[in-house]
Amino acid sequence: MNYWLMKSEPNTYSINDLKQEQKTVWDGVRNYQARNYLRQMQEGDLAFFYHSNAKPPGIVGMMKVIKTLVNDPTQFESSSAYYDPNSTEENPRWQTVIVEFVSVFEEIISLETLKENLTGDDLLVVKKGSRLSVIPVKNEVAEKILKMTK
């Protein structure tokens, strides 16, 4: 079982949205490095839900990967902001996963707290200028993060 961290702007989709829906297709990722990580995910993997562009930014909960190698439906929708005219049904370019709600942390683990306890090598999100929205998290780092929760 692997750990991941996935970013979303709460204005767009928050941990509470996921709590309400219970599961969702993690759509809209249009960065190849992030997509490659999405392709590597396995059923049962756990992911930290990170609120970016939030006050404060930080990890707000957990989710579980329940289905992998799902074609992102928005790539085919011409009305979507994530529409990719170069992607075809025969040869889709963007795969993602379906995630299930696991928990909301009692208190956010703020970026500030993460920076106090981890280095940029531990967790990419701590590194200045890191924009990757899907990030692998080493097991020992995940355990450290989990200890920061109440």
Partner DNA sequence: GCCAACGTTGGC
Q: What residues make contact with DNA under the rule CB under 7 A?
A: 7, 9, 31-33, 52-54, 57, 111-112, 125, 127-133
At closest approach, how far in Å is the CB of 52 from DNA?
4
Distances in whole angstroms, Cα of residue 88 to Cα of each of 29, 92, 93? 17, 5, 8
Nearer to DNA, 33 or 119 (CB): 33
Q: How far is the CB of 27 from DNA (least distance, A)?
A: 13
Give the shortest CB-126-to-DNA separation in angstroms: 9
In the complex with DNA, which residue's Cβ is closer, 33 or 42? 33
State whether the Cα torsion 45-48-19-148 is positive or negative. positive
21: Cβ contacts below 8 Å, ≥ 6 apart: 101
